[in-house]
Amino acid sequence: MSSKEKNSVTILTESQLSSRAFKEEAYDFYKELRKSQPLFPLSLGTLGEGWLISRYDDAIHLLKNEKLKKNYENVFTAKEKRPVLLKNEESLTKHMLNSDPPDHNRLRTLVQKAFTHRMILQLEDKIQHIGDSLLDKVQPNKFMNLVDDYAFPLPIIVISEMLGIPLEDRQKFRVWSQAIIDFSDAPERLQENDHLLGEFVEYLESLVRKKRREPAGDLISALIQAESEGTQLSTEELYSMIMLLIVAGHETTVNLITNMTYALMCHHDQLEKLRQQPDLMNSAIEEALRFHSPVELTTIRWTAEPFILHGQEIKRKDVIIISLASANRDEKIFPNADIFDIERKNNRHIAFGHGNHFCLGAQLARLEAKIAISTLLRRCPNIQLKGEKKQMKWKGNFLMRALEELPISF
């Protein structure tokens, strides 16, 4: 999207927000929105019309606002036209990210014990072994595509082992995940995504049948046990929860590891500072989360009750999308917001969301990033971009801020 095109935009569409062109210039566009149009008209086709939120304070307020619902059934009456879902998506939408209290609390309780601080720390040695094994494969080549060779396999191996899923299926998850997070309303893409989601549902049905026959000490077996004990979990909720854990369990961490590495290599002074002061790693991770937020836009919230924001009436059934990426560059909250500073103080970013839907896997993502980046810098001290910064391309994707690839030499 060129500067001329951005200045002439009166309403944002799904296709614009999902385009590679928008991703390349998004931060400049968000800066203008924060100044003059913090509530910007938005159209998501069959999913509805509403508003894009760009300021930090508004984001904090709306992420906790009980007038906004994640489950459209809590907004639309039986007689009203509801948002159109893909046929095969219906089996995959009954998870906690798409639910409101009290269902959200019930679903979150079923899995949160697997993500306690103690449980996450127990994974440290395993994550370290995975990171070292991945680098063992590429180090002799003195080159790798960080996305394919390191940032993607590390978290997908971790979440696969936690769930009890065969590692040989991990490449399938990559394709299915992209179909799930793709908000495209183009007819041919809709048809393709529906087919891919159908494959995913069939896979989950087969996987659950196997786990029922041969339960083990993994998270899927624990969820099946909860389902079998009564009304804790329906079959649709079971499939949806497994899907969410697979997708959310690796997509955001892939982007965190990749985007952080990219930011460090684009800011050599910060990379050198981190090498000299490795105790800054935790602070550097938080700054990476703020600077290139792995999740750029939130999933949809629908307005259950009308309210006023910035003098504008937000009507019932309006869609609300919050730009976490924009909120995390809000100059009123973050001094020198466009500067990457691994020693930033009071870093109150909302890269993992806020309120009831704060990311359950935040601790795991932070630990995976800490081990992945520390190991990379230790074992590959001469890391540098293979090619020019302008050659690095952001994926055209609605929800995520993700690089298509990150070629590096060392």
Q: What is the model's pLDDT at position 86?
A: 66
With contact defined as beta carbons under 8 Å apart, do 96 and 241 qualify? yes
Beta bridge partners of 69: 302
Question: % helix / strand / coil in the chain, to the nearest 5?
Answer: 60, 10, 30
Task: Supply 196's token pair.
Answer: 């891919």
Contacts 24+ apart (CB under 8 A), 343-349: 343/273, 343/280, 343/283, 344/283, 344/286, 344/287, 344/290, 347/283, 347/286, 347/287, 347/290, 349/286, 349/289, 349/290, 349/293
DSSP state of 300: P
Mind giving me the DSSP string for 29-46? HHHHHHHH-SEEEEE-GG
Q: Coil, strand, or helix at residue 290?
A: helix
Sheet hosting strand 68-69, strand order edge to edge:
12-13, 39-43, 49-53, 319-322, 301-303, 68-69
Q: What is the model's pLDDT at position 6?
A: 47
With contact defined as beta carbons under 8 Å apart, do 396 and 181 qualify? no
Mind giving me the DSSP string for 43-99? E-GGG-EEEEE--HHHHHHHHT-TTEESSGGGTS-TTSPPPP--GGGGGG--SGGG-
Q: pLDDT tens digit string along 186-228?
A: 677 778 888 888 899 899 999 999 999 999 999 999 888 876 5
The residue ranges of every structural domain in the chain are 3-409
Residues of the chain scoring pLDDT < 70 = 1-9, 85-86, 90, 183-186, 227-231
101 preceded by a cis bond (ω within 30 of 0): no
Q: What is the pTM of this model?
A: 0.93
Q: Coil, strand, or helix at residue 125?
A: helix
Domain 3-409 grouped into CATH 1.10.630.10: yes
Q: Coil, strand, or helix at residue 326?
A: helix
Q: What is the model's pLDDT at position 227?
A: 63
Please state, in angstroms and rounded to a whole number, the distance separating the CA atoms of residues 162 and 107: 18
Q: pLDDT tens digit string along 140-176?
A: 999 999 999 999 999 999 999 999 998 888 888 888 8
**Cβ neighbours of residue 406 under 8 Å, at least 6 residues apart?**
145, 146, 147, 151, 258, 261, 262, 385, 392
